[in-house]
Structure 1
Amino acid sequence: MKNLMYALALVLTAIVTNNVKAQEVKLKSDKIIVDDKPTFDYDKDGFEFHIYKLNTKDEIVYIQHSNNSTISYLEDDYKKIIFPNNNVNIESALFRARSFKYIVTLLLTEKVLDLEGNIDAEKLQKFATKYNENITARTVRLN
């Protein structure tokens, strides 16, 4: 009985370990490549990054780096992640120094975005709860 339980635990560990695999994400020639397969198109223009379904202009995610109108002061910079089809905006200073590639990888890892370009609304809400800091709503501007 003890050997059976040990063998079962070993098999379950092997199954879980094989299913949990980090995805390799590359940005190359306006394509987001996941595990050596073109998966999404993207467009980067300075501090703006657009993710599209493959071979379309159907925008899935828009990411913007904001300097919070303080060009020389970097401590208040943040990233804004917009999901236009879901009407969800996330503003987070946690991603301030992170690359666009990092954010794409995080969206895939947390299963907010799947490899076909679909957004999981429930996982998106969890992601927003976890990372959204509502920076513009709590920023006071003095003239």
Structure 2
Amino acid sequence: MMKTLYFTLVALFFTSILVGQEVKFKNKSVFIDKQEALRYEQPFLADEITFKKLDSQEEVVYIKPAREDRGKYNEIVYYTLVFVQEKVSFETQKFNQKGMKSIFKQLVKEGVVLPDGTVNIEAMERFKVKYEDSLTKLLIR
């Protein structure tokens, strides 16, 4: 009994280490697994953040928060994610309590942004299906 419990705990520990990717933001650079992958720009006093490739000015991901006032106590907060090279954008409310860097960490965790700074198109489509909200239909009312 103790051997199986011990083996299970050790297996869970090692799988969590192997599966999880570490994402750090330092000096306008993004490090994925301690290797510099992308640069990011977040202008002073601006809400948006842009992730670019290291060797060029090519944009990979652009994230911008937005607010829609619907009365005194009713405010809709959402994020617009734009994958520039793939010409795909969508809006989501699922990350309201998190910041834009946390959204990027989720993109890395789900395999959308790879450690070499490229976008996995299949993972991006899965991410879009999973997190997209039809906010424009809601906001037009």
TM tier relative to shorter chain: 0.7 to 0.9
Alpha-carbon displacement from aligned partner over 1:67-88 (angstroms, at most 9, x marks no partner):
1367x76740111110011121
Map of 1:43 onto structure 2: 41
Q: Which segments of 5 or more consecutive residues in structure 2 lack a partner in the other structure?
A: none
Whole-Å Cα distance in 2 between the matches of residues 69 and 87 of structure 1? 28
How far off its partner does 1:116 sit? 1.2
Q: Distance in 1 between matches of 2:24 and 2:73?
A: 30
C-alpha RMSD of the superposition:
2.6
What does the per-residue CA deviation read over 1:75-112, in whole Å, with 9 as the maximum and x for residues that have no partner? 40111110011121121111122112211111111001
Amino acid at match of 1:37: Q
TM-score by length of structure 1 reads 0.78
Contact 1:67–1:74 (CA<8 Å) still a contact in 2? no
Q: Which residues of 2 match residues 1-143 of structure 1 at below 5 A? A: 13=11, 17=15, 20-45=18-43, 46-68=46-68, 75-140=75-140
**Normalising by structure 2, what TM-score?**
0.79
Identity %: 26
Gaps of 5+ in 1: 1-5
Q: 1:51 to 1:73 in 2, by over 3 A?
A: farther
Matched residue count: 131
Amino acid at match of 1:44: Q
TM-fit CA distance, 1:19: 6.6
In structure 1, C-alpha distance between the alignment counterparts of 2:115 and 2:67, rounded to whole Å: 31
Larger radius of gyration: 1
Give yes or no for contact 1:41–1:55 (8 Å, CA) kept in 2.
no
Q: Give me the whole-angstrom Cα distance separating, in 2, the residues matched to 1:18 and 1:133.
A: 30
Q: Distance in 2 between matches of 1:139 and 1:122?
A: 29
